[in-house]
Structure 1
Amino acid sequence: MGTHARLDDLFAAAKAVQARAHVPYSRFPVGAAIRDEAGRIHAGCNVENAAYPQGACAEAGAISRMVAEGGRRIAEILVIGPGDMLCTPCGGCRQRIREFSRPDTPVHVAGPEGVRRTFTLDDLLPASFGPDNLDSAGDAA
């Protein structure tokens, strides 16, 4: 599958789930779609809650869905948000993405018109702490 077609299906999945976001407070719907190591797509949207810290980001929902459906590695992720500015993953979601990916994992950031920019996870979360840090710590003991 070509790069353009690969991004088209991720974009379509993220845009479709973005329309289902529960955002009565911010009115800022976000969708995320992940392609896992087997090529399957898993999507999630943000879900707000009147007790603000209890809400869930779109990326967290997509990751939960990926894990629930048997995926274990993010091959690439696309996040779509409204407005003119880039809707990059928040800090917490950058760490969540790190748990299931590598520093070179593509993170595509989109707006209503399509992909605006692609980063690597390392661009967004340089010198990150992840599972490999814990694996190597066991060697030191």
Structure 2
Amino acid sequence: MDILQEQIKSLADQAKEIKEKAYVPYSHFPVGAAILYKSGEVIQGVNVENVSFGATNCAERTALFTGITKGYGKHDVAAIAVAANTEDYIMPCSICRQVMVELCEYDTPVFLTNGAGDIKRLTVADLVPYAFDSLNN
């Protein structure tokens, strides 16, 4: 699926808008994610913190896991956008990158934004060039 420029902007805007719903009482660092599925559906997610920090879930995983509950698989993901109020482009954490390897194709576009609204295009493979992708590695 070719992603059009207006779809990229819309997806980034949806990630930016949803981040305001993040539950971040400890870090005060809201992150939003929006995933475009090939069906045209967009699923959003936010980071949700917990005083036991290991129980915190990131925006990217929240959105991807919701997609799984709706029956989507890795071949269904068209693109991911991530937004935060950062100077530089927001980068997914290593756990989210590993989940993307499992739940997305390597060539899935990942659009990273910054607080100024700039958009950087990478792929899952760019984020995890030497991915651990099977139990046979």
TM-score bucket (shorter structure): 0.7 to 0.9
Three-state SS of the structure 2 residue aligned to 1:7 is helix
Deviation string, structure 1 residues 80-124 (Cα, Å, up to 9, x no partner): 011202211100000111112122111110123324311111111
Contact in 1 for aligned 2:112/2:119 (Cα 8 Å):
yes
Contact in 1 for aligned 2:12/2:111 (Cα 8 Å):
no
Task: Give identity over the alignment, percent.
Answer: 35
Q: Is the deviation greater in 1-10 or in 39-48? A: 1-10
Contact in 2 for aligned 1:37/1:72 (Cα 8 Å):
no
Q: CA deviation at 1:2?
A: 6.2
Which aligned runs of 4 or more in structure 1 are off by greater than 6 angstroms?
Answer: none
Structure 1 length as normaliser, TM-score?
0.85
1: CA distance between counterparts of 2:3 and 2:53?
40
Question: 2:81 matched to 1:85?
Answer: no
Gaps of 5+ in 1: none
Aligned with residue 110 of structure 1, among 94, 113, 124: 113
Q: How many residues align?
A: 133
Question: What is the match of residue 101 of structure 1?
Answer: 104
Which amino acid letter does the alignment assign opposite residue 106 of structure 2?
P
Question: 2:58 matched to 1:57?
Answer: yes
1: CA distance between counterparts of 2:3 and 2:123?
19
Alignment RMSD: 1.7
1: CA distance between counterparts of 2:17 and 2:72?
21
Which amino acid letter does the alignment assign opposite residue 126 of structure 2?
D
Structure 2 length as normaliser, TM-score?
0.88
Which amino acid letter does the alignment assign opposite residue 69 of structure 2?
A
Question: What is the match of residue 36 of structure 2?
Answer: 35
Question: 2:131 matched to 1:121?
Answer: no
Q: Rg larger in 1 or in 2?
A: 1
Contact in 2 for aligned 1:108/1:115 (Cα 8 Å):
no
